[in-house]
Structure 1
Amino acid sequence: MAYKSLLCVLTDSDFLEAPLAQGMALAESQDAHLDVLTLGVDRSQNGYFYAGADALMMQEMLARARSESDDIEAKCRQLLQNSELRWACDSGVAQIADLGRHVAMRARFADLVVLPKPYGPNHGTELEPTIEAALFEGQAPVLMVPEDAKPITAPETICIGWNESAEALASTRAALPFLKAAKTVHVVVIDPPVHGPNRSDPGGLLSQFLSRHGVRVEVDVISKTQPRVSDCLLRHATDKSADMIVMGAYGHSRFREAILGGATRSMLENATMPVLMAH
């Protein structure tokens, strides 16, 4: 198994270098095709009040979005044109309320979507719905890349956040090309239920599944010593000098996580290393 169709969706010229470099490195190592979609986003949300909107204002916002898209596309082509990769770069304009449709249409046909970190100083509001559209409507695994992350193709150490959920299993399956190449994969189980079906061997079935794929697995059962599960997982990954974290995305609803917080949102906010997620 290998990634053969990679997709980068870029909406901000300030945050394109890390995900594009990661996509290019993966395309080379996996002999894959890299598709880059550059979108200029109209953030005015005029679609909600067209009747009272000024036509000149809408035209100005769309022209600004088109200019942003052209700028992002030019920077991407400059980085891609001298490579020997198989690649394509398309551009477009989308209103922020309609952004998910554009992203999902491309993500459905990608083995992996590489995206920038959605939260942080000066991060645009469109980065969050982009990653959610790829995960939910596109049903594609997403590799989130922080701004200062170096491209990785064969991470030596990977931590899997395992809670026996469908989301965690989907992300593990999607990460198999990385897991098989790693020297060590830690299946991290945080406070397993004392009355669960796998209480005597937490993470055992997953480690068996992975070992049959040639993955070198260790099971780490740790206590929840911090308020959030994501903090425990991130600290453990840091302690193990992990190059990547693999975890399920949005086990709770997006609305619940937006209001009350959750492991997915917290990880996307605080991760200092690439995180592969699937839903």
Structure 2
Amino acid sequence: MLKDLTLIVDARTKEAGSYALSLAKLIDAHLTLFLVDVETALATYSMAELRYDLILAEREERREAIVTTVTRLQSQGKAQGLSVDALHLEESNEAEIGRLNRTLRLFDLIIIEQAYGEQIGERARMIEAAIFEAARPVLLVPNIQTTPPSLKTILVAWDGSAPAARALDDALPLLVRANHVEIVEVVTKSSVPCDEATLMRHLARHGVDAVFRQTPSTGDIGNTLLSHAADVGADLLVMGAYGHSRLREAFLGGATRTILECMTIPVLMSR
């Protein structure tokens, strides 16, 4: 069950906040705001090249933005009758990222906004750490997301691998709520035949009425998945995460950057 959610909040979190609140309301879950203060605009400069007062001013501006976001989300949550609390991670250095992951393991689902703009480096680092080291499913919300969560149509990327199986299992509490669940296999030259009957029987025993489809790869599996998601009007994409922490390796054989940079719908990833 997904009863204990956490949203990673930094100075530039926008669309993921409202999405997380609505999701918690939809599935009757608790939401914890995990405040993370990360370096953004200063990341591309040597600290020695900047005046100390400018460094302090940028940090203060960042922290004020985080406080404003948290205050707004807690107020909105209270108005919706939600239980919303907050935890604070002071800095995003290596030691603190390790502590972040140890704490994230105590939640059912991690929600974070897609990396974009000036904060892409630091937030991408947090996303990678959460996916590969927190041992929990991560729900990525597009920075263009303006609509509340809908579970009408969920698309599950399947290749029979361990990460794909973990993602499928992690998503079951959401799949049982969906009106339509489609399991899609992107067919490549190296694809291994899927035991479709056993997969469908497994889902049916969990109360999930799903369909199985195969689609040929267009050369980039990430683009193939996103294109198919658009064709079927998917509200959520579920997929296994492949690769190694910090290495920007592939999801489903080569789709990391495609999914992380071009996602147009929320994506639940599990490792």
Q: TM-score range by the shorter chain?
A: 0.7 to 0.9
Instruction: Write out per-residue CA displacement over residues 190-218 of structure 1, whole angstroms, 9 at most, x where no aligned residue.
Output: 1167884xx3x543332221111111110
1:103 and 1:130 in contact (8 A); partners too: no
1:35 and 1:89 in contact (8 A); partners too: yes
* Shift in CA distance, 99/67, structure 1 to aligned 2, threshold 3 Å: farther
Aligned residues: 262
* Aligned equivalent of 1:245: 237
Of 248, 260, 263, the match for 1:268: 260
Instruction: Write out per-residue CA displacement over residues 70-103 of structure 1, whole angstroms, 9 at most, x where no aligned residue.
Output: 3212222123224321111233421444452243
Q: Partners of 1:245 and 1:166 in 2: how far apart?
A: 17
* Aligned equivalent of 1:158: 154
* Aligned equivalent of 2:208: 215
* Shift in CA distance, 203/164, structure 1 to aligned 2, threshold 3 Å: same
Give the % identical residues: 31
Q: CA deviation at 1:171?
A: 1.0
Instruction: Write out per-residue CA displacement over residues 91-120 of structure 1, whole angstroms, 9 at most, x where no aligned residue.
Output: 3421444452243133111111111012x4
Q: Partners of 1:7 and 1:208 in 2: how far apart?
A: 32
* Aligned equivalent of 1:170: 166
Q: CA deviation at 1:63?
A: 6.1
* Aligned equivalent of 1:180: 176
Q: CA deviation at 1:62?
A: 5.8
| Structure 2 letter corresponding to 1:155 | L
Q: CA deviation at 1:139?
A: 1.0
5+ residue gaps in structure 1?
none
Q: Partners of 1:189 and 1:213 in 2: how far apart?
A: 21
Instruction: Write out per-residue CA displacement over residues 228-272 of structure 1, whole angstroms, 9 at most, x where no aligned residue.
Output: 1111111111111111100011246652628xx922332111110
Of 257, 261, 267, the match for 2:249: 257
Of 112, 118, 137, the match for 2:133: 137
* Aligned equivalent of 1:79: 73
1:187 and 1:220 in contact (8 A); partners too: yes
* Shift in CA distance, 204/264, structure 1 to aligned 2, threshold 3 Å: farther
Of 91, 97, 102, the match for 1:100: 97
* Aligned equivalent of 1:12: 11
Normalising to structure 1: TM-score of the pair? 0.83
Computed over aligned residues only, the root mean square deviation of the Cα atoms, in angstroms, reads 2.8
| Structure 2 letter corresponding to 1:78 | R
1:135 and 1:142 in contact (8 A); partners too: yes
| Structure 1 letter corresponding to 2:199 | L
2:5 and 2:107 in contact (8 A); partners too: yes
* Shift in CA distance, 68/209, structure 1 to aligned 2, threshold 3 Å: same
Normalising to structure 2: TM-score of the pair? 0.85
* Aligned equivalent of 1:127: 123
* Aligned equivalent of 1:278: 270
* Shift in CA distance, 166/66, structure 1 to aligned 2, threshold 3 Å: farther
* Shift in CA distance, 202/95, structure 1 to aligned 2, threshold 3 Å: same
Q: Partners of 1:41 and 1:65 in 2: how far apart?
A: 9
* Aligned equivalent of 2:36: 39
Q: Partners of 2:31 and 2:106 in 1: how far apart?
A: 12
| Structure 1 letter corresponding to 2:224 | C
Q: Partners of 2:161 and 2:199 in 1: how far apart?
A: 11
Q: CA deviation at 1:144?
A: 0.6
Q: Partners of 1:264 and 1:22 in 2: how far apart?
A: 23
Q: CA deviation at 1:27?
A: 1.7
* Shift in CA distance, 21/182, structure 1 to aligned 2, threshold 3 Å: same
